Amino acid sequence: MNLSKLIVVLVLLLELSGSLAHAEPVLEPGQSGAPGQRIVGGTTTAAADPFRIFFDEQGNGFYQIFNPTTGQYGPAVNDPGFIDPATGFLTYRLPQFVVPGPVLIMGGPDEPANSTINGFSDRIFFFDDATSGLMQYMSVREPGEVGAPPADVSTFPIDTTLFVNETGPEGNNSFVYPGSGDPSTTNFFIGTSDGVIPEPTSIILLATGMGLLAFGGWVQRHRARVDSRN
């Protein structure tokens, strides 16, 4: 297990648990049509509970489904990426249909200028097929890099104003999209920009502790909504 990578994930989970505990209802992209979120309204109704997925540029990934009854995430489900034969991009299959669209990741302050596109180091793009939602992951290839990971590309389109920032030093950085939200309505995407994600058991042990902090805030919001309906 890479200790430094585990520390970065811990920091991300600390930030995320804090944002979950204090998030306002307006920060629920699952109800606002943001890319990657559940399809709500119209002719399609989301049947599945929200999820969070951990993934990296090497094609490693797993997801967990949120249980609204317990207020906790369920067991990890292995979800390795694959190269889409139609596009050649690293792609992850998601556990439910999602709102399509792109999200950009802004590189950190120590990101080399020649490994970004207008300051952006990565891009995720959501779309659906007949089975479920999918997510393409693209990361700018550094000049002269040997043995590039499957997510690496020479360029990608800057086609949205929606972005999140990387966290951590160059060579050991990650990101979370969206940065905040209610886990009972929001899908979360936790990406490792450089390197590989820690083993699922390591992350889940950390996330369980962070989840206990977030759970208190979730229960308070849930009770408030129930009281407002009575």
Instruction: Determine the pLDDT at residue 28.
Output: 36
Apex CA 199: angle with CA 17 and CA 20, to 5°? 10
Q: Which residue has the higher pLDDT, 12 or 86?
A: 86
**Which residues, in sequence order, are CB contacts of 145 under 8 Å at separation 6+?**
152
How far, in Å, CA of 82 to CA of 91, rounded?
Answer: 5
pLDDT band (50, 70, 90) for residue 118: very high
With a pLDDT cut of 70, the percent of the chain lying above it is 69
**Which residues, in sequence order, are CB contacts of 212 under 8 Å at separation 6+?**
none
pLDDT band (50, 70, 90) for residue 48: confident
How far, in Å, CA of 153 to CA of 160, rounded?
Answer: 18
pLDDT digits (tens, 9 = 90+) for 178-201: 988 899 999 999 999 887 887 776
User: Are 190 and 181 spatial neighbours (Cβ–Cβ below 8 Å)?
Assistant: no
pLDDT digits (tens, 9 = 90+) for 208-230: 554 444 444 444 444 454 455 55
**Local structure of 53: helix, strand or coil:** strand
* pTM, rounded to two decimals: 0.75
